[in-house]
Structure 1
């Protein structure tokens, strides 16, 4: 089942991201959850009452990201990577007029250097949301208990985790293929 989810991720990301980087981050993120959660109650066991954040994060990653990818890849994808509803006939000759474009093309940037810097700016701005939230809430008990290093790891993992559904929605609604286009990789 894991490889079905991986196969669906290949629709939205470069193969090295979907096949190597994201599975590695998933494994590392799942291993990091117990170490990032500083709640002294419930050490050695997990109950919803004591570990809402850790269990909620795991359930979002498991059900929303993994099981949804398996469902979409198994029941809604057909020949030619086209969407088919479960009651529709899978026509291998179906042709869908769909033009996928990169994000920089939406903004009229056509040079490769401009695309590189524009995509880098968008990705940097997205990840800077974690820094902004840290400075906005640094006086809260949660941030004080967590600490700067744990917060940085947690923010990176959560923002990366949320990047998958954001990229899926951008592809479904605006036909955006890549957000950041470089000569070496595409995000």
Structure 2
């Protein structure tokens, strides 16, 4: 019938637009892509991810059967380990306690990190470079993220490998059996200086991202 359009066809096309993944900016289409250069998320992408997960699971199972877990002796309630360290993925937080008060290192800093990660999609709305390993379109976001990422692993490395008894700093070639004198009490910076630095940090972020919200 002239002028008639099947509603099922419209529904299928709408679902196709919503559930596809762009191949890239190049005009050459990937194998299996349609004329617009798009692939279906299911089953094209999901099936490949599922196969990759199965392969990784098999490798881990075989590896775990051949290598024993690095378990230590049973804990003794009458003896406290020195230094007592958290698991490596929490050593960064433990290292922060050297530089900040407990409520800052244990509450404020992790809270700011979590809230910042949650806010990234709402703050960085730049559509360029999505789905690509692209630095030219992310000249600000990539260095900022990598700086924080690197600093976090620096804290982990220091806490895991360079902290000895009583949480003193030991170089890798120093002997932990040689006791070090107690360090002097840390001196807090003046409150006005801390508030000034915090204000400058917030102002810099506002100036950078204000055009996004205005």
TM-score range, shorter chain: 0.5 to 0.7
Query: Structure 1 runs of 4+ off > 3 angstroms?
Result: 43-46, 130-135
Counterpart of 1:128 in structure 2 is 199
The offset of 1:84, in angstroms, is: 0.6
| CA pair 25-75 structure 1, distance change in 2 beyond 3 A | same
- Structure 1: give runs of 5+ residues left out of the alignment: 105-117, 149-187
The offset of 1:78, in angstroms, is: 0.5
Q: CA separation in 1, counterparts of 2:142 and 2:205?
A: 22
Q: Deviations over 1:27-75 (max 9, x none)?
A: 1112222321242313455622222222221111111x21000110011
| Greater helix content | 1
- Structure 2: give runs of 5+ residues left out of the alignment: 1-87
- Determine which structure has greater relative contact order: mean sequence separation of CA pairs < 8 Å that are 6+ residues apart, divided by chain length: 1
Correspondence 1:81-92 to 2 at 5 A: 81-91=167-177
**What TM-score do you get using the length of structure 1 for normalisation?**
0.57
| CA pair 13-101 structure 1, distance change in 2 beyond 3 A | closer
Does the CA-based 8 Å contact 1:34-1:54 persist in structure 2?
A: no
Question: What's the Cα RMSD here?
Answer: 2.7
Question: Rg larger in 1 or in 2?
Answer: 2
- Specify the SS of the correspondent of 1:52: coil
Does the CA-based 8 Å contact 1:7-1:73 persist in structure 2?
A: yes
